[in-house]
Amino acid sequence: MNPNLTTDRPTFVTHLECSLTGERYEADQLHGLSRAGRPLLVRYDLPSIRAVAPRAMIAARPTDLWRWRELLPVRRTSDIVSLGEIETPLVPIPKSGGPNVLVKDEGRLPTGSFKARGLVMAVAMAKALGIKKIAMPTNGNAGAALAAYATRCGIETIVFCPDDTPEINVREIAAQGARVYRVNGLIDDCGAIVGKGAAEGLWFDFSTLKEPYRIEGKKTMGLELAAQFGWKLPQAIFYPTGGGTGLIGMWKAFAEMEALGWIGSERPKMFAIQSSGCAPIVRAFEAGEEHAERWEDAHTVAAGIRVPKAVGDFLILRAVRESGGRAMAVGDPAILQAVEDAALKDGLLICPEGGATLAAYREALRLGLVDEDESAVLFNCATGLKYPMADASKTLDRFAEIDLAVL
């Protein structure tokens, strides 16, 4: 058994606060959005963590998500819900990317995507706070992660997804114990159904950033990167951005680690990557706006980043601007080409959302936003095995004469 899960360790949550106004909320109570209608952020007693959890102690633990226990909100080991959340590898792609490009391959996590990070934490806290029924809108992978973790701890789950969600996602959600409904609309249309049911007291709303703890799970991507880079950070991060929880979480993790003395003040340039068919964050970034208007007629092959409006838009934009990065949009042809190139040239099968980061890196290189000599991490958010692939096979008749030399 993983020693990170067997011993109760102190957690250091002090309170929650509104990400927009700074208003303080009590910890260990059930919360959704703040009174201002914005995400709540978990705050910790960082000086106390610094005193009892030196970096060397953390580094010596098994390399899984739970090694970061002091910086996570789950207070009791008995509330942890785990399916084996590993530290995901950094995979070089020198032929399709470049000599200093690494892919953080989140497809190795339970349920095959980085949604496992956020949902394992959110579900563990739901268990701790006594939630019995959860509903959530999804473009696929988040619903699968929610279903798996909620089923594991006996929480009833209802999931709503757009009717063109990848078929394998819809089926895996149901296979792992959730009731799943296809809705003739986009993810925010599904979210409206979830919100209506929550207002009527039928379930708790687990929409992106509408509960405080998914960010805490996703921030472990930033914690891992620091450890993997020898307690420094890469010079650029390319992140596929729909709701943007992971980008927000990593930015939070970097600040916490600096306060703990684990890293310095240097930060990567953060690139929020969207599809040109659904790019509300890009439009707001280029217009100098703090909030992003809803994107109408959203469409892209990268379903995971087809989010017309993000509740944490201002947090995404703030992180991108503070880092000196950029919000970028890439088209579906470039996304599909990047997926093909990574597989054919480097043997790494990535998802369309991961392909978007590679396509964006190539464009950033062309525009001089990054240099080939700079270290860059691209996030592949799910295993490519979940997505349709072209059939390039040919057939053979074993009863006919076969020219093996031609083969």
107 & 157 share domain:
no
Q: Which domain holds residue 164?
A: 115-205
Average pLDDT over residues 206-229: 96
Burial code of 325-342, b = ≥16 C-beta within 10 A, e = fewer?
Answer: bbbbbbebebbbbbbebb
Q: Are strands 269-275 and 236-240 parallel, antiparallel or unpaired?
A: parallel
Q: Check residue 317 and give its pLDDT.
A: 98
DSSP 241: -
219 & 186 share domain:
no
* 3 pLDDT above the threshold of 80: no
| CATH number reported for the structural domain that contains residue 300 in this entry | 3.40.50.1100
* 161 pLDDT above the threshold of 90: yes
Distance (Å, whole) CA 360 – CA 339 = 12
Count Cβ atoms within 10 A of the Cβ of residue 6 and give its class: 0-12 exposed, 13-18 middle, 19 or more buried: exposed
- The pLDDT tens digits for 218-241 are 999 999 999 999 999 999 999 999
- The pLDDT tens digits for 33-52 are 999 999 999 999 999 999 99
In a domain, 292, yes or no: yes
- The pLDDT tens digits for 112-129 are 999 999 999 999 999 999
191 & 223 share domain:
no
19 & 166 share domain:
no
Q: How confident is the model at residue 150 (pLDDT cuts 50, 70, 90)?
A: very high
Q: Check residue 1 and give its pLDDT.
A: 46
Distance (Å, whole) CA 218 – CA 215 = 5
- The pLDDT tens digits for 361-395 are 999 999 999 999 999 999 999 999 999 888 999 99
Distance (Å, whole) CA 5 – CA 354 = 31
Q: Check residue 388 and give its pLDDT.
A: 87
Return the SS3 of 324.
Answer: coil
**How many domains are there within the chain?**
3
301 & 240 share domain:
yes
Q: Between residues 390 and 323, which one has the greater pLDDT?
A: 323
357 & 218 share domain:
yes
Residues 6 or more apart from 292 whose CB is under 8 A from it? 280, 281, 283, 284, 309, 310, 313, 317
* 301 pLDDT above the threshold of 80: yes
Evaluate whether 148 touches 111 at the Cβ level (below 8 Å): yes
- The pLDDT tens digits for 262-274 are 999 999 999 999 9
Take residue 155 and report the two structure tokens written for it. 């929480």
Distance (Å, whole) CA 327 – CA 288 = 11
Evaluate whether 180 touches 159 at the Cβ level (below 8 Å): yes
Q: Check residue 29 and give its pLDDT.
A: 94
Average pLDDT over residues 141-162: 96
Average pLDDT over residues 324-336: 98
Q: Between residues 4 and 343, which one has the greater pLDDT?
A: 343
Q: Check residue 4 and give its pLDDT.
A: 61
Among 146, 176, 205, the domain boundary falls at: 205
In a domain, 351, yes or no: yes
Q: Between residues 10 and 199, which one has the greater pLDDT?
A: 199
Q: Check residue 390 and give its pLDDT.
A: 86
Distance (Å, whole) CA 116 – CA 135 = 16
47 & 166 share domain:
no
* 95 pLDDT above the threshold of 50: yes
Q: Count other Cβ atoms within 10 Å, centred on residue 45.
A: 15
Take residue 380 and report the two structure tokens written for it. 């592949």
**Residue percentage of the chain with pLDDT more than 90:** 94
Evaluate whether 317 touches 292 at the Cβ level (below 8 Å): yes
Take residue 346 and report the two structure tokens written for it. 């480097």
**Of residues 342, 32, 353, 294, the one with CA closest to residue 169:** 353
Average pLDDT over residues 297-301: 94
**Crossing angle for the helix pair 245-260 and 313-323, nearest 10 degrees?**
50
61 & 131 share domain:
no
Evaluate whether 81 touches 153 at the Cβ level (below 8 Å): yes
Among 155, 187, 205, the domain boundary falls at: 205
Residues 6 or more apart from 60 whose CB is under 8 A from it? none
Q: Count other Cβ atoms within 10 Å, centred on residue 251.
A: 24
**Of residues 56, 47, 49, 113, the one with CA closest to residue 85:** 113
Average pLDDT over residues 203-219: 95
Among 153, 180, 205, the domain boundary falls at: 205
| Mean pLDDT for the chain overall | 95
Q: Which amino acid is at 76?
A: R
Side-by-side strand order, sheet with 179-183: 179-183, 156-162, 133-137, 204-205
Angstrom distances, CA of residue 239 to CA of 49, 254, 354, 395: 29, 15, 8, 40
**Of residues 81, 107, 80, 178, the one with CA closest to residue 137:** 178
* 6 pLDDT above the threshold of 80: no
Q: Check residue 11 and give its pLDDT.
A: 76
